[in-house]
């Protein structure tokens, strides 16, 4: 039996939508089966666009001391609402920056939101021939250095998920203990959270369960030692040297 839906259940997904009233009118007059389908589509409205392909030039457009930079874009698809209250898939283009380590050990692709002083890690990788050699923390350091010192952003946000084309289960998707014997997160998310200045994405308001964030240490002066201790308590598996209490001592020195 199909569960009956109320128009009120749509509201969390359409609060910011210009054509919300048109969708509600369609919803009220729809069958239960159609309402179920519409609820599923409404949940997609606030989700991040799904990237299809990246487009970068063959030659660098900039560089730093350690990185080659390529300014390009990604083509993506997202669910949008039309004036008639219909759902449609919309093709969009998202500016991206590809950064390649000059020693050819890793690369990362970023989306820079200058207005909100935020960078999103679209994708990153340590090249296969250099994996298991300790280069992951160096890649993280390169991301933080470029985003905080070159771009001057407040926050770097990412999702701890393998690429969609790598759907097989491996060490990254294994659930590991976090905080208690019952709380568990993926091993990949645990790895990201062990890095310096890392926190759960939920701490900055991101609702993706796999998200994490890096905070710019130069902008944390307004917080207290009690704040840092609270953040460290949320990630007890973080190495001592990477805990906020220890890191901020270095910043203050």
Q: What is the DSSP letter of 244?
A: H
Q: What is the pLDDT of residue 253?
A: 59
Rg (CA), the chain: 21
CA 35 – CA 42 distance, rounded (Å): 10
pLDDT digits (tens, 9 = 90+) for 3-14: 778 888 888 888
Q: What is the pLDDT of residue 22?
A: 92
∠ CA 177-179-184, nearest 5°, is 35
pLDDT digits (tens, 9 = 90+) for 23-32: 999 998 898 8
Q: What is the pLDDT of residue 13?
A: 87
CA 98 – CA 71 distance, rounded (Å): 6
Judge whether 199 and 232 are in contact, CB under 8 Å: no
Q: Which are the contacts of 214, defined by CB distance < 8 A and separation ≥ 6? A: 140, 143, 144, 147, 155, 156, 195, 196, 197, 198, 199
pTM, two decimals, is: 0.85
Judge whether 17 and 23 are in contact, CB under 8 Å: yes
The three-state secondary structure class of 188 is helix
Tens-digit pLDDT profile for the chain (253 aa)?
A: 567 788 888 888 888 899 999 999 999 889 888 989 999 999 898 888 888 899 999 999 999 999 999 999 999 999 999 999 999 999 999 999 999 999 999 999 999 999 999 999 999 999 999 988 999 999 999 999 999 999 999 999 999 988 776 666 777 888 787 766 567 888 899 999 999 999 999 988 888 889 999 999 998 888 888 999 999 988 888 899 999 989 888 766 5
CA 220 – CA 137 distance, rounded (Å): 22
CA 38 – CA 180 distance, rounded (Å): 38
Q: What is the DSSP letter of 204?
A: G
Query: Residue 232's Cα: distance from chain center in Å?
Result: 21
Judge whether 61 and 18 are in contact, CB under 8 Å: no
């Amino acid at each position: 039996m199909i569960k009956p839906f109320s128009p009120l259940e749509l509201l969390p997904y359409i609060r910011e939508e210009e054509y919300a009233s048109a969708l509600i009118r369609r919803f009220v007059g729809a069958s239960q089966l159609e309402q179920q389908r519409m609820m599923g589509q409404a949940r997609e409205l606030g989700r991040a666009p799904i990237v299809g392909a990246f487009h970068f030039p063959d030659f660098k457009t900039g560089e730093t001391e350690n990185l080659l930079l390529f300014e390009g874009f990604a083509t993506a698809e997202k669910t949008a609402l039309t004036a008639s209250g219909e759902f449609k898939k919309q093709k969009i283009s998202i500016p991206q920056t590809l950064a390649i380590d000059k020693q050819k050990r890793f690369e990362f692709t970023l989306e820079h939101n200058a207005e909100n002083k935020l960078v999103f890690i679209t994708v990153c990788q340590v090249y296969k021939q250099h994996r298991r050699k300790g280069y992951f923390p160096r890649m993280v350091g390169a991301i933080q250095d470029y985003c905080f010192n070159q771009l001057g952003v407040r926050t770097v946000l990412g999702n701890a998920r393998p690429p969609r084309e790598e759907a097989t289960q491996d060490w990254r998707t294994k659930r590991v203990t976090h905080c208690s014997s019952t709380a568990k997160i993926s091993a990949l998310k645990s790895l990201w959270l062990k890095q310096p200045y890392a926190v759960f994405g939920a701490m900055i308001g991101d609702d993706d369960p796999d998200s994490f964030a890096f905070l710019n240490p130069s902008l944390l002066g307004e917080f207290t030692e009690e704040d840092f201790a609270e953040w460290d308590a949320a990630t007890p598996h973080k190495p001592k040297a990477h805990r906020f209490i220890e890191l901020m001592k270095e910043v203050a020195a």
